[in-house]
Structure 1
Amino acid sequence: MELQAHSHWRTVDVISDIHLHPSEPLTHAAWERYLQHCRADALFILGDLFEVWVGDDVLDTVDGFENQCANSLRVLSQRTAVYLMHGNRDFLMGPRLAHACGATLIQDPCTLQLGRQRLVLSHGDALCLDDTDYQQFRATVRTDTWQHAFLARPLPERQAIAREIRQRSETAKSSQREYADADTEETLRWLHNVQAQTLIHGHTHQPATHALPGGLERWVLSDWHLDGAARRAEVLRLQCTPETGAVAIRRLAPDASEITCC
């Protein structure tokens, strides 16, 4: 998928792995504050906006947490173009949610032409080839057959399955297990295929900027987690200079203060 930035875009924000969930009130509050103060021309959310998404029919609960989050994004969409990408936790997000958010669903990967720079945007999970168990799981759950069968189950049953999966995930986190990283050869293939200079992704929870051969680069987004001892959250801001078409990339805290650690 390729997307041409609108000519008036000067500031583009990119975030990922917010993992919104009622059990993470500080993270949710920080996200709400960011949306209220965001003045970017476009916002790209590269997957895992929600900790889990079991189907758009969760929006049937009008006063539920998910509707609250969708309404906040809809308010932002009145002044900022909002784009949503599936992650490994919320790959069942569908058109009803996108409409409720005032957002556009985009494919993974997506090539963005901003000024004279071409960037590849991705959640990042498809690049973690060393995580073979996950790649097998991903190949299964991304099929129409699996998704139709899962969504045909009653909502309470799907929510119970999601709680069980989340519990296993939390147990894995406490074991200090390291996330697999993006495969360099596959990353270069992606960039070369679309003649892009920069890959931006999340998923790994290992924020860093990696220099790649040929002057290419890979920017890894932080996840958002403000309810634990290790508090973290960031926005990647792309600033396009109209006179030259050059794009500068900065890491910011959600309150727009600079992040210099990565």
Structure 2
Amino acid sequence: MKHSAFLKSHMSPKTLLPGAILIADAHCAPWRTSLIDFLHALDSGEITTPQLILMGDVFDMLYGPIPRTYGYNTEGLEILNRLSRRIEIFYLEGNHDFLMTDLLPHVEVVRREHQPLVMTYDGKNIALSHGDSAMGWGYELYTALIRSPLVLAVLRAIDTMGNGFIVSWLEKQMKRKSHCRSIENFKELIERRLSSFHLESIDVLIEGHFHQNQTFEIHGIQYINLAAFACNERYFSVQSIQNQPLLHEAVFRKEPL
């Protein structure tokens, strides 16, 4: 069966702005705070952009119905809410951060089922997605369960009665995870995934999730997989220069190397 999300999502495309900044997979947490420094740089005007697009897994643990996860991310949420009153922000749900609409009232949160977000730029249709779609029925079942209000309510009650042992266990797992791993045969993996999507009207597909920082042509489109900000603090900005790649890669450092 062909995946129809692309057909549904680009009926009323948004506009991707020159100078827009894209950040994927920052996995921000108390033990990984470089995104907070980056957001402060945006807030102070040290870095400027008319549009911020967060490509999912921006926070390592942020689950809307689980209040304890807010405590991990209070500062980041406060800055995003402040920034959202001055610049346009899109936040694509990832598999580490979801059901956040109430936490970010002035941010356009794009839920997984509404991805890709399709935007127009220079006469082209640019599709943006976290990237954890078409991953097989097992993953689809898992991701549906973890977003279920009933399942989350039960987990929240168990976690509360158990003095937070579920969230504490998740924290230990997140700290162990490496975000800089290379995936063998990555292009072939993406080619298999995208064979189930309608891509006829898409010119460029940009995803995160896999952390590979690779660009290639596939199924007649340009496919871009962004680097993880959590790995070497890389982010991307939309270039307005003709005959140049769509995205310019930069590295953020709070202090010079």
Give me the TM-score of the superposition, normalised by structure 1. Answer: 0.73
Corresponding residue to 2:222 among 217, 229, 234: 217
Corresponding residue to 2:203 among 197, 202, 205: 197
Where does 1:172-251 land on structure 2 (aligned, <5 Å)?
173=178, 183-190=190-197, 192=199, 195-214=201-220, 216-225=221-230, 232-240=232-240, 248-251=246-249
The answer on whether the counterparts of 1:114 and 1:240 sit within 8 Å (CA) in structure 2 is: no
The answer on whether the counterparts of 2:14 and 2:118 sit within 8 Å (CA) in structure 1 is: no
Which residue number corresponds to residue 258 of structure 1? none
Can you give the 5+ residue segments of structure 2 that lack an aligned partner in the other structure? Answer: 1-8
Distance change >3 Å, CA 158–CA 74, structure 1 → 2: farther
Which residue number corresponds to residue 116 of structure 2? 109
How far apart are residue 53 of structure 1 and its match?
Answer: 1.6
How many pairs does the alignment contain? 236
Distance change >3 Å, CA 108–CA 154, structure 1 → 2: same
Does residue 89 of the first structure (1) align with residue 96 of the second (2)?
yes
The answer on whether the counterparts of 1:114 and 1:247 sit within 8 Å (CA) in structure 2 is: no
Distance change >3 Å, CA 26–CA 144, structure 1 → 2: closer
How far apart are residue 236 of structure 1 and its match?
Answer: 2.0
- Per-residue CA distance 1:219-240 (angstroms, 9 max, x = gap): 1111123xxxxx5122222235
Distance of 2:135 and 2:185 partners within structure 1? 6
Q: Which moved more, 1:32-41 or 1:113-122?
A: 32-41
Distance change >3 Å, CA 72–CA 27, structure 1 → 2: closer
Q: What is the SS of the residue equivalent to 1:79?
A: coil
Q: Which one-letter code corresponds to 1:123 in the other structure?
A: H
- Per-residue CA distance 1:99-149 (angstroms, 9 max, x = gap): 2xx3111132221223311111111112444xx754442243234543454
Which residue number corresponds to residue 12 of structure 1? 20
Q: What is the SS of the residue equivalent to 1:44?
A: strand
Corresponding residue to 1:77 among 84, 87, 100: 84
Where does 1:34-49 land on structure 2 (aligned, <5 Å)?
34-36=42-44, 37-49=46-58
Distance change >3 Å, CA 32–CA 158, structure 1 → 2: farther
Q: What is the SS of the residue equivalent to 1:204?
A: coil
Does residue 254 of the first structure (1) align with residue 252 of the second (2)?
yes
Distance of 2:25 and 2:219 partners within structure 1? 27
Distance of 1:152 and 1:180 partners within structure 2? 42
Structure richer in helix, relative to its length: 1
- Per-residue CA distance 1:136-190 (angstroms, 9 max, x = gap): 422432345434544555657595313313423444549x795995531432543
Give me the TM-score of the superposition, normalised by structure 2. Answer: 0.74
Distance of 1:158 and 1:46 partners within structure 2? 32
The answer on whether the counterparts of 1:111 and 1:119 sit within 8 Å (CA) in structure 2 is: yes
* Identical aligned residues as a percent: 17
Q: Which moved more, 1:45-54 or 1:159-168?
A: 159-168
Distance change >3 Å, CA 173–CA 13, structure 1 → 2: closer
